[in-house]
């Protein structure tokens, strides 16, 4: 994606905040602006626009649709921080920590509602249907993850179902929607049948596989990276008793001492959450347990096995791209995919 394209996307988002949202609700506009100003990789709008060009190399760039996908992502982050009781997002105080949960939920709801209103006004079938179904799956995945909190018997199949819904579906929707809009403008047709176009299916498969690899990588980084790199406290998943792939694989190794340590950590975190802040001694013990679990995970074979999982899904993403005619856009999408495995643990 060129710098001009990135500027165009940001311009659309800024116009929304400045011209529309600020006039309707200055408080929400300020909150949204703060999160946008904190940065972000912009992967979802990139995939949206590159998928359009991969489907039709002569497609006119559509920063509007790409911007809507970024705002949908932003709304999910706002809600995620409420569910996770997170204090930091992208290196800054999270919205829920600054403004409270009730305000954050309403701000996220507003963003969702506004984006879907605009999409239904501007885009033909099946794009609104795709995005509505995607949002339903994201919520479904978040509920499943919430109900799996602290469940040390959670298996890999359940884990991949959760991340497929809460993360991969959005990437798949970005790729599919971008491709369909390009196809609509090229063929002057609309309707659900466009989803069966081979190029559209290939790009949807690409987005889904990319999303799975992205989430596994994110879960590994939560264990091995530092707070500066993450933009939030390290080991947040363990603090919130989320059972992610590194932990699942480590528990499968059958080290009973490690299993007992994780059970103690999760039990103490649950009890502390129910009772409120603990004593200094209790907090110190919890910190020691957390560090011991992190140290074990960093040295365990589980981390290397996660690398293999990331490689498997990035290869699936590249395989999906191979079904498309080679172009600058498919090369750029492949390059994005390569970044998921090009990092050290």
Q: Is residue 267 domain-resident?
A: no
Q: Is residue 271 domain-resident?
A: no
Banded model confidence at residue 281, pLDDT cuts 50, 70, 90: very low
Q: What is the CATH number of the domain that holds 83?
A: 1.10.600.10
The overall average pLDDT reported for the chain is 87
Q: Is residue 289 domain-resident?
A: no
pTM, entire model: 0.91
Mapping DSSP onto H, E and C, the string for the chain reads: CCHHHHHHHHHHHHHHHHHHHHHHCHHHHHHHHHHHHCCCCCHHHHHHHHHHHHHCCCCCCCHHHHHHHHHHHHHHHHHHHHHHCCCEECCEECHHHHHCHHHHHHHHHHHHHHHHHHHHHHCCCCHHHHHHHHHHHHHHHHHHHHHCCCCCCCCHHHHHHHHHHHHHHHHHHHHHHHHHHHHHHHHCCCCHHHHHCHHHHHHHHHHHHHHHHHHHHHHHHHHHCCHHHHCCCCCHHHHCCCCCHHHHHHHHCCCHHHHHHHHHHHHHHHHHHHHCCCCHHHHHHHHHHHHHHHHHHHHCHHHHHHHHHHHHHHHHHHHHHCCCCCCHHHHHHHHHHHCCCCCCC
Structural domain count of the chain = 1
pLDDT in tens, 63-95: 889 989 988 998 999 888 888 777 776 667 788
Full domain range(s) for residue 109 = 3-253+300-338
Q: Is residue 273 domain-resident?
A: no
Q: Is residue 265 domain-resident?
A: no
Q: Is residue 266 domain-resident?
A: no
pLDDT in tens, 190-241: 999 999 999 999 999 999 999 999 999 999 999 987 765 655 667 889 999 9
Q: Is residue 209 domain-resident?
A: yes
Q: Is residue 260 domain-resident?
A: no
Banded model confidence at residue 116, pLDDT cuts 50, 70, 90: very high
């Amino acid at each position: 994606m060129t710098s001009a394209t990135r500027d165009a996307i940001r311009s659309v988002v800024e116009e929304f905040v400045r011209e529309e949202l600020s006039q309707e609700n200055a408080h929400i506009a300020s909150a949204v602006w703060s999160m946008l100003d904190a940065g972000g990789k912009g992967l979802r709008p990139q995939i949206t626009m590159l998928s359009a060009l991969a489907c039709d190399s002569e497609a006119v760039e559509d920063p509007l649709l790409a911007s809507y996908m970024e705002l949908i992502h932003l709304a999910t982050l706002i809600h995620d921080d409420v569910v996770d009781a997170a204090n930091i997002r992208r290196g800054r105080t999270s919205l829920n920590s600054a403004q409270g949960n009730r305000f954050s939920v309403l701000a996220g709801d507003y963003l969702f509602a506004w984006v879907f209103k605009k999409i239904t006004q501007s885009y033909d079938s099946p794009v609104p249907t795709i995005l509505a179904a995607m949002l339903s799956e994201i919520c479904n995945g978040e509920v499943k993850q919430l109900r799996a909190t602290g469940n040390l018997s959670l298996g890999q199949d359940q884990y991949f179902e959760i991340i497929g819904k809460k993360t991969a579906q959005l990437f798949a929707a970005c790729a599919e929607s971008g491709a369909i809009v390009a196809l609509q403008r090229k063929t002057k047709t609309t309707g659900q049948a466009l989803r069966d176009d081979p190029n559209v299916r290939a790009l949807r498969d690409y987005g889904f596989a990319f999303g799975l690899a992205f989430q596994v990588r994110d879960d590994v980084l939560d264990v091995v990276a530092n707070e500066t790199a993450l933009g939030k406290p390290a080991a947040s998943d363990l603090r919130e008793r989320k059972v992610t792939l590194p932990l699942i694989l480590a528990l499968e190794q059958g080290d009973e001492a490690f299993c007992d340590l994780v059970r103690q950590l999760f039990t103490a975190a649950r009890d502390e959450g129910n009772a409120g802040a603990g004593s200094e001694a209790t907090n110190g013990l919890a910190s020691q347990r957390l560090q011991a679990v992190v140290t074990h995970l960093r040295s365990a074979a589980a981390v290397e096995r996660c690398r293999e999982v990331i490689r498997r899904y990035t290869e699936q993403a590249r395989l999906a791209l191979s079904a498309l005619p080679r172009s600058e856009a498919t090369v750029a999408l492949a390059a994005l995919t390569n970044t998921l495995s090009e990092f050290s643990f």
